Structure 1
Amino acid sequence: MQCKPGEVRVLVAKGIAGGEGPQHFIALPDPRTGQLSSYLLTGGCLQEVNWFKQQYSSWFIGNSVAQDGGLYLGTPVDPLLVLLPLLEKARAEQNVFQDLEQILSMAASPSAHLLLPLLGSGEQLGCLCDVKSAGGQNYFRLNDERVVAWLRLKVDQAKAAMQASPAAAFSNMDDVSLTAYAAGLLGEYLAQHWQDRLAAALNLPEDLPQRVHAAPPADYGAQPSEKKARMDPKEAAKAKAAEARQANKAAKLAKEASGMRKLSSFFAARPAAAK
């Protein structure tokens, strides 16, 4: 969704209200599809920007009205996920150790250099790369084993966050289902071959429930999702919980009904009076 010149829109993002330093909207390749996507860089935090629209709603903004009720949502994202495809491209083209500026130049975006202050001297890239230092400068080359180990750590962090969540759907999941769901969330930012390698490293079974992506309503003006159907144990847990609630409700009704007289008993023929 593009803003027209002079158009006022609602943006919900980390660091906006406090005005934490400069704010930059930049275009970077999506780590899963490679297509340019919108990001917000503010307060030392990289956030992906998504468009959300709810039906039958509007925003009052000062003296104007945003009639369609849409808004932009900024969600913090690990910059290493954005750098991963660039590191792959750098290795595929030259297979040598390169500095951060060379790696960022692989992006089809002139604003990618704005990530340099966020990455500093690149110590974080040691999670994904072999590192060499020369002349006070660090140089990097992607290491697949480091990437898989890092992704497994990200899955563990996501699982810990979900286990601490009050959401009942997570508490009903077993460890395998929770691991699969966390891997599925992370997979939204990974190319298919990394998704496959991560699933293999986690020993995930292939017969878990698959997520079904519903097409957005026609009046949203959006195209149906092209994302691959992904296993989603959360939906299975919801269905299981719903079945349990139905069973409990039926048992409760049966218990209450056990002490009741049948309706037909109120209309039984009275015994004939003695003459």
Structure 2
Amino acid sequence: MAAPKPADTRVVIGRGMASEEGAPRHFITLPDPRTGQPASYLLAGGCLQEINWYKQQYSSWFVGDQVLSDGGLYLCSPVDPLLLLLPLLERAREQQNVFQDLEQILSMAASPSAHLLASVLGGGEQLGCLCDVKEAGGQRYYRLNDELVVAWLTLKAQQAKAALQASPSAAFSGMDELAVTAYAAGLLGEYLAQHWQDRLASALQLPEELPQPAHPPPAADHGSQPSEKKPRLDPKEAAKHKAAEARQAAKAAKLAKEASGMRKLSSFFGPRPE
């Protein structure tokens, strides 16, 4: 096989990418669970991973004898496959309000690679978290149950909240219980249609308007006057603001740490000491 051209070479960081040769890896396209638009995912290392493009300014990669000057890379992070299955289960119930097997449900994705999700769903056993299950002739059949979905989403949000509170990041240490709960719900909401976000917020007893922090961040609209009435901020939007602040703080800390050990490029081209 001919060596790929530099323009075709990309850096991918994800679970299972460094495993032994021959390990199954599949890049697949599935509907985004929130928007329904096609999105790219990676099946590797025994899990489903979402793919995000990241590019830092003034950076390059050395790959073999090539230089990738744009410095971009694909970051793959694990995602719960049930989140991607939820809109498919809804579609299956809307079209035929009957129990269906996993193959029929996955066909709702209208993607030739959707059947590969079966490998990370434990043969369908995980669907019991979202569905009523019936067995007949050694085959399992599923139908979405809204109450089970809300209970599962609530548990996921509580787990995310516990992980955030255990995080060493200073961005979460100053947040009260309500703010952390809204933040966790906002993270989960990135994978949910609006009606599920609303039901999750209700289950978590989040208020329609979160109380303002003691030291609120500067308003995004610099042209507005302080006396103007601010629009209602729902828990999802508040969580997005918190997420942006946390990412900025983490990025600044990382850059400062990296810069402390760097040498100027010109130092590599100066005259050698006698």
- TM-score, structure 1 length as denominator? 0.75
Equivalent residues in 2 for 1:1-275, closer than 5 Å: 7-19=8-20, 21-208=23-210, 230-232=237-239, 234=242
Q: Deviations over 1:62-119 (max 9, x none)?
A: 1111111100000100000000000000000001000000000000211001111222
- 1:4–1:154 distance in 2 versus 1, CA, 3 Å: farther
Instruction: State the identity as a percent.
Output: 71
Is the CA contact 1:30–1:189 (under 8 Å) kept in the aligned structure 2?
Answer: yes
Q: For 1:229 and 1:170, locate their aligned partners in 2 and report how far apart those are by CA, in whole Å.
A: 17
Please state whether the residue corresponding to 1:184 is helix, strand or coil. Answer: helix
Is the CA contact 1:172–1:237 (under 8 Å) kept in the aligned structure 2?
Answer: no
Please state whether the residue corresponding to 1:194 is helix, strand or coil. Answer: helix
Please state whether the residue corresponding to 1:122 is helix, strand or coil. Answer: helix
Please state whether the residue corresponding to 2:49 is helix, strand or coil. Answer: strand
Name the aligned partner's letter for residue 17 of structure 2.
Answer: I
Name the aligned partner's letter for residue 242 of structure 2.
Answer: K
Q: For 2:8 and 2:217, locate their aligned partners in 1 and report how far apart those are by CA, in whole Å.
A: 36
Instruction: Give the CA deviation at 1:172.
Output: 1.2
Q: For 2:12 and 2:245, locate their aligned partners in 1 and report how far apart those are by CA, in whole Å.
A: 33
The aligned length equals: 223
Q: Deviations over 1:168-195 (max 9, x none)?
A: 1211111111100000000000001100
Q: For 1:150 and 1:211, locate their aligned partners in 2 and report how far apart those are by CA, in whole Å.
A: 33
Greater shift, 10-19 or 78-87, is seen at 10-19
Moved over 2 A (4+): 3-6, 18-21, 208-212, 232-238
Please state whether the residue corresponding to 1:47 is helix, strand or coil. Answer: strand
Please state whether the residue corresponding to 2:74 is helix, strand or coil. Answer: strand
Instruction: Give the CA deviation at 1:43.
Output: 2.1
- 1:92–1:11 distance in 2 versus 1, CA, 3 Å: same
Q: For 1:235 and 1:191, locate their aligned partners in 2 and report how far apart those are by CA, in whole Å.
A: 19
Instruction: Give the CA deviation at 1:19.
Output: 3.5
- TM-score, structure 2 length as denominator? 0.76
Is the CA contact 1:181–1:231 (under 8 Å) kept in the aligned structure 2?
Answer: yes
Is the CA contact 1:26–1:38 (under 8 Å) kept in the aligned structure 2?
Answer: yes
Q: For 2:60 and 2:151, locate their aligned partners in 1 and report how far apart those are by CA, in whole Å.
A: 45
Instruction: Give the CA deviation at 1:4.
Output: 8.3
Please state whether the residue corresponding to 1:51 is helix, strand or coil. Answer: strand
- 1:10–1:211 distance in 2 versus 1, CA, 3 Å: farther
Instruction: Give the CA deviation at 1:122.
Output: 1.0
Is the CA contact 1:148–1:198 (under 8 Å) kept in the aligned structure 2?
Answer: yes
Q: For 1:42 and 1:235, locate their aligned partners in 2 and report how far apart those are by CA, in whole Å.
A: 27
Q: For 2:188 and 2:7, locate their aligned partners in 1 and report how far apart those are by CA, in whole Å.
A: 36
- 1:54–1:143 distance in 2 versus 1, CA, 3 Å: same
Please state whether the residue corresponding to 2:36 is helix, strand or coil. Answer: coil
Q: For 1:211 and 1:81, locate their aligned partners in 2 and report how far apart those are by CA, in whole Å.
A: 32
Instruction: Give the CA deviation at 1:235.
Output: 6.6
